[in-house]
């Protein structure tokens, strides 16, 4: 029997390597021919793909949406790639790949389509005339992209499923829920926190407003005014293509807060978790936060917001605390409580590790993907 070919289309190579390389590797081991196509390299390296025997294609397309002529050319480049590879299945990850790739899969008569919706992002957070107009335009694209006859849509929380079903772009029968992209429990090992009189509270995310970075800084200000003895770290990189991104000037202004330590992007993120005592993510919305499931695996208590994709990554009051979105005062209160209660945050950390072992193990997520590949290709 001829081997089946799978094309995985992603926006950012670095993100693919961090979150989904093991899926591609396992699929190749199972006998599939795997192609990986990406728009931007980000922090990723082609050498990683070569080492794992994966065929790859750099499309040199911007992740964000730009003027119509550039978008038409981007659409054409993806269309041309589909025609050259002629895949049996396409796995489309993040919004631009799955909107364009989903439509192109219909035009090129791809046998099967798997779409991964990691979160609804800025589109459903921002409420202004531009976002209203954009949603009207995108509605048709979603409708066509999600209309393939042999297709599954991966979502990371039930609220995103409900949102898309109510928006009338998704049939409930196509939706499947995976608990995030998984975490390598051997890499993110449980470790007792390093004892110190000055705990480290760490914000780990892309530097965009919707991750709650301003609320984190404001909470830190409140705690410093009260004389709370703690270090506040921000770990993450600028994301210039995101409409909610901080600018270089914003970072320069925020760095004037001497009590905030901007660490930038860190490749060895495991060490960051090991050195931290509390992980804080006051995000406005997530698919299922990778930061929070990594924190659980590392055994760190968390404080996060009571929104989709954040509350789904913890057991409230057992592995961490939930606070209302955009509320720096209550965020500071929960952080202060954990700073002052070493035993409670350690107990939460141990419970978090058990949660990660039960639901977030990357091996479980990999097997779920392989099962869906098989179902779509051999049904």
pLDDT at position 228: 95
| Region at 93 (left for phi over 0; alpha for psi -120 to 50; beta for the rest) | beta
Query: Over the stretch 243-292, which tens digit does the pLDDT of each residue have?
Result: 787 888 888 887 777 789 999 887 789 999 999 999 999 999 999 999 99
Does residue 162 sit within a domain?
A: yes
Q: What pLDDT score does 177 carry?
A: 96
**Is residue 125 scored above 80 in pLDDT?**
no
- The dihedral through the CA atoms of 343, 266, 239, 49 has a sign that is negative
State the pLDDT at residue 308.
93
**Residue 193 falls inside a structural domain:** no
36 within some domain? yes
- Read off the pLDDT band of 124 (50, 70, 90): low
Task: Verify that 157 and 282 share a domain, yes or no.
Answer: no
**Pairing of β 33-40 and β 5-12:** parallel
Shared domain check, 16 and 91: yes
* Same domain (yes/no): 322, 369: no
Decide if 143 is inside a domain. Answer: yes
Closest listed residue to residue 291, CA positions, set 213, 371, 373: 213
191 occurs within a structural domain:
no
3-state DSSP: the chain helix, strand, coil percent, rounded to 5? Answer: 45, 20, 35
Read off the pLDDT of residues 134-158 as tens digits, 9 standing for 90 and up.
788 889 999 999 999 999 999 999 9
Give yes or no for residue 242 having a pLDDT over 90: no
Q: How many CB atoms lie within 10 A of CB 81?
A: 19
How confident is the model at residue 121, as a pLDDT? 61
* Chain centre to alpha carbon of residue 137: 24
Q: Is 245 exposed, middle or buried (0-12, 13-18, 19+ CB in 10 A)?
A: middle
Collapsed DSSP state (helix, strand, coil) of residue 55: strand
Q: Is residue 78 part of a domain?
A: yes
Per-residue pLDDT, averaged over 59-67, amounts to 85
Average pLDDT score, the chain: 93
pLDDT for res 1: 62
How confident is the model over 31-56, as a mean pLDDT? 95
Residue matched to tokens 């919305």: 285
Looking at the structure, do residues 109 and 233 belong to the same domain, yes or no? Answer: no
- The tokens 């975490």 sit on which residue? 183
| Nearest-angstrom CA–CA distance, 327 and 331 | 6
Same domain, 302 and 178: no
Please check whether residue 189 lies inside any domain of the structure: no
Residue ranges making up the domain that contains 347:
200-360
Verify that 369 and 350 share a domain, yes or no.
no
User: Which tens digits make up the pLDDT trace of 295-341?
Assistant: 999 999 999 999 999 999 999 999 999 999 999 999 999 999 999 99
Q: Look at residue 40 in the predicted model and tell me its pLDDT.
A: 94
Residue 371 lies in a domain: yes
Domain count, the chain: 2
């Amino acid at each position: 029997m001829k081997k089946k070919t799978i094309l995985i289309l992603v926006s950012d190579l670095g993100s693919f390597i961090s979150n989904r390389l093991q899926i591609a590797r396992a699929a190749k081991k199972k006998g599939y021919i795997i192609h990986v196509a990406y728009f931007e390299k980000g922090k990723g390296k082609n050498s990683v793909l070569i080492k794992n025997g994966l065929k790859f294609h750099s499309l040199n397309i911007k992740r964000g949406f730009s003027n119509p002529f550039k978008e038409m050319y981007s659409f054409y480049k993806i269309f041309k790639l589909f025609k050259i590879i002629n895949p049996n299945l396409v796995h489309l990850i993040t919004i631009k790949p799955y909107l364009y790739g989903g439509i192109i899969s219909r035009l090129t008569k791809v046998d099967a389509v798997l779409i991964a919706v990691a979160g609804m992002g800025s589109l459903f957070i921002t409420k202004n005339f531009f976002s209203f107009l954009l949603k009207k335009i995108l509605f048709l694209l979603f409708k066509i992209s999600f209309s393939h006859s042999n297709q599954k849509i991966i979502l990371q929380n039930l609220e995103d499923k409900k949102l898309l079903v109510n928006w009338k772009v998704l049939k409930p029968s196509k939706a499947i829920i995976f608990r995030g992209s998984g975490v390598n429990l051997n890499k993110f090992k449980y470790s007792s926190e390093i004892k110190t009189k000055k705990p480290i509270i760490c914000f780990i995310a892309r530097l965009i407003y919707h991750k709650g970075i301003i609320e984190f800084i404001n909470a830190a200000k409140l705690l410093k005014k009260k004389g709370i003895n703690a270090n506040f770290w921000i770990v993450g990189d600028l994301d210039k293509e995101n409409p909610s991104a901080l600018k270089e000037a914003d970072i320069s202004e925020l760095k004037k807060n001497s009590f905030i330590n901007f660490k930038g992007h860190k490749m060895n993120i495991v060490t960051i978790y090991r050195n931290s005592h509390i992980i804080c993510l006051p995000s406005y919305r997530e698919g299922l936060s990778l930061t929070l499931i990594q924190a659980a695996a590392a055994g760190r208590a968390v404080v996060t917001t009571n929104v989709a994709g954040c509350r789904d990554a913890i057991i409230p009051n057992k592995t961490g605390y939930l606070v209302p979105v955009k509320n720096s005062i209550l965020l500071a209160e929960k952080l202060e409580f954990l700073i002052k209660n070493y035993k409670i945050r350690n107990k939460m950390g141990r419970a978090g590790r058990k949660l990660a072992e039960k639901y977030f193990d990357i091996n479980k997520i990999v097997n779920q993907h392989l099962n869906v590949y098989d179902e779509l290709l051999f049904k």
